[in-house]
């Protein structure tokens, strides 16, 4: 059976993470994605590292199921070919530096006039206006400007997110925005222009800390894996060193936790811990009470008690352990994709379409499809 976006043509002048993530999700759902790259080196994310048999881990993650075409967009021939592609396209995505698309004749206003049904999506660091418009916008810089670094880490030291949170946020908003614009086009026959910035996306994700600081007067404290407003919440260790993460959300769970897991129901009514606010204010004493019990248990014994009490919990796994996670194995989430360096292990798309086989086409080499795509354009 066809996937939902079969027949849709996406042309993307993309690099790094945000735009490639958006278009890879479109490709996962069946869209044909033609990735425009620089002649020679291509997308600079190809060179971030060489850990995947010589290929970049970022590039392998973000670029399966795409066709790579190299064009010199500063040349007359390159721009002419680009316009021929857009003549057939449904969606155009770009994450050029601010103003570059306009200088190349690929700005949203110019394209809207020429291709009224085209959905255009511009992804930038800070948006098309404002004093930060032209600022460099690497993920760490956006995490810092948006305040994420200030609330991540421990009390002693802030930290950035371990994944490119700003890029991922922008990529996902671009993906969902494009889908909404395509739905609107089905009703109106007209495309639209979308603008997504990494900064706006991450500030949106900072909603709870912003409200907390704006109305509470102070920002949430950095608490490692703990939570500024909930306790007990975070990582605790069993006696054998197994790390288990707890998340107790209400008073009923708290009482059950004390009775079944700790075996000390009186702790639930201790004035220091009798309310959510009291537990947060007395977190060191709370952790001491919990650690006294947990250090006498193995990881398996602790998990068994948590399961019996139906307390929300998780194992704090290292990345290598996630590769062999039993949930992924049980649901057959791993498969293979082709690449210039041979078959690679890959996760199936997170969106499962009932009755359809997930699209898992190869990761392209730089310019691998240039000749084929040019020949296809000449067929018309």
Do the Cβ atoms of 125 and 97 come closer than 8 Å?
no
222 pLDDT band (50/70/90 cuts)? Answer: confident
Q: What is the predicted pLDDT for the residue at 156?
A: 86
Measured CA distances, 144 to 166, 168, 296 (Å)? 10, 15, 41
User: Does pLDDT of 229 surpass 80?
Assistant: no
Do the Cβ atoms of 282 and 272 come closer than 8 Å?
yes
Q: What is the predicted pLDDT for the residue at 188?
A: 96
Question: Residues with Cβ < 8 Å from 252, sequence gap 6 or more?
Answer: none
Stretch (H or E) spanning 319:
helix 319-323
CATH superfamily of this structure's domain 9-206+331-379? Crotonobetainyl-coa:carnitine coa-transferase; domain 1 (3.40.50.10540)
Angle CA 58–226–295, to nearest 5: 110
Angle CA 347–166–39, to nearest 5: 70
Going from N- to C-terminal start, the domains of the chain cover 9-206+331-379, 233-315
The yes-or-no answer on residue 227 being catalytic is yes
What mean pLDDT value characterizes the chain?
Answer: 93
Do the Cβ atoms of 165 and 237 come closer than 8 Å?
no
Packed helices 165-188 and 198-205: angle between N→C axes, nearest 10 degrees: 100
Mean pLDDT of 199-225: 90
Give dist(CA 111, CA 246) in Å, integer.
52
Mean pLDDT of 211-231: 84
380 pLDDT band (50/70/90 cuts)? Answer: low
Do the Cβ atoms of 363 and 63 come closer than 8 Å?
yes
pLDDT in tens, 291-305: 999 999 999 999 999
Give the DSSP per-residue string, 167-191.
HHHHHHHHHHHHHHHHHHHHHHS--
Judging by beta carbons within 10 Å of its beta carbon (0-12, 13-18, 19+), is residue 307 exposed, middle or buried? exposed
Please compute Rg for the chain using Cα positions: 25
pLDDT in tens, 169-188: 999 999 999 999 999 999 99
Candidate list 58, 227, 313, 369, residue with the active-site label: 227
Q: How many separate helices (H) and strands (E) can be counted in the chain?
A: 18, 11
- What are residue 78's phi and psi, to 5 degrees? -65, -45
Within 10 angstroms of residue 349's Cβ, the number of other Cβ atoms is 19
Q: Do domains 9-206+331-379 and 233-315 have the same CATH topology?
A: no
Judging by beta carbons within 10 Å of its beta carbon (0-12, 13-18, 19+), is residue 161 exposed, middle or buried? middle
* Bridge partner list, 70: 37
Measured CA distances, 86 to 99, 116, 377 (Å)? 19, 11, 11
User: Which top CATH class is 233-315?
Assistant: alpha beta
pLDDT in tens, 340-376: 999 999 999 999 999 998 899 999 999 999 999 999 9
218 pLDDT band (50/70/90 cuts)? Answer: confident
Do the Cβ atoms of 261 and 289 come closer than 8 Å?
no
Give dist(CA 366, CA 368) in Å, integer.
5
Q: What is the predicted pLDDT for the residue at 230?
A: 84
Q: For 326, how many CA atoms within 13 A lie in the half-sphere containing its CB?
A: 2
pLDDT in tens, 137-159: 999 999 999 999 998 888 888 98
């Amino acid at each position: 059976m066809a996937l939902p976006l079969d027949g849709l043509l996406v042309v993307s002048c993309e690099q790094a993470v945000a735009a490639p993530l958006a278009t890879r999700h479109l490709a996962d759902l069946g869209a044909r994605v033609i990735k425009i790259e620089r002649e020679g080196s291509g997308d600079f994310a190809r060179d971030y590292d060489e850990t995947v048999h010589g290929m970049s881990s970022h590039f392998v993650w973000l670029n399966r199921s795409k066709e790579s075409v190299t064009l010199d967009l500063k040349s007359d021939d390159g721009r002419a070919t680009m316009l021929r592609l857009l003549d057939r396209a449904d969606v155009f995505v770009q994450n050029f530096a601010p103003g570059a698309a306009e200088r190349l004749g690929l700005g949203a206003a110019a394209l809207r006039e020429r291709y009224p049904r085209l959905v255009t999506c511009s992804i930038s660091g800070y948006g098309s206006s404002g004093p930060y418009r032209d600022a460099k916008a690497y993920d760490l810089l956006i995490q810092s400007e948006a305040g994420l670094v200030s609330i991540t880490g421990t009390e002693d030291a802030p930290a950035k997110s371990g994944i490119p949170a700003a890029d991922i946020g922008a990529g996902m908003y671009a993906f969902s925005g494009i889908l909404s614009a395509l739905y609107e086009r089905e009703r109106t026959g007209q495309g639209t222009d979308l603008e997504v910035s990494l900064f706006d996306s991450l500030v949106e994700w900072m909603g709870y800390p912003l409200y907390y600081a704006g109305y509470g007067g102070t920002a949430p404290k950095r608490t490692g894996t703990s939570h500024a407003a909930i306790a007990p919440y975070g990582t605790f260790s069993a006696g054998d060193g197994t790390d288990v993460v707890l998340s107790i959300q209400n008073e009923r769970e708290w009482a059950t936790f004390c009775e079944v897991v700790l075996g000390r129901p009186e702790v639930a009514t201790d004035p220091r811990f009798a309310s959510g606010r009291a537990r947060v204010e007395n977190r060191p004493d709370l952790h001491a009470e919990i650690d006294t019990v947990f250090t006498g248990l193995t990881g398996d014994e602790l998990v068994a008690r948590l399961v019996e009490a139906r307390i929300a919990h998780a194992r704090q796994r290292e990345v290598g352990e996630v590769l062999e996670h039993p949930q992924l194995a049980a649901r057959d989430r791993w498969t293979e994709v082709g690449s210039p360096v041979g078959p690679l292990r890959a996760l199936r798309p997170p969106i499962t379409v009932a009755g359809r086989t997930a699209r898992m086409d190869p990761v392209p080499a730089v310019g691998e499809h240039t000749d084929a795509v040019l020949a296809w354009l000449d067929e018309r």
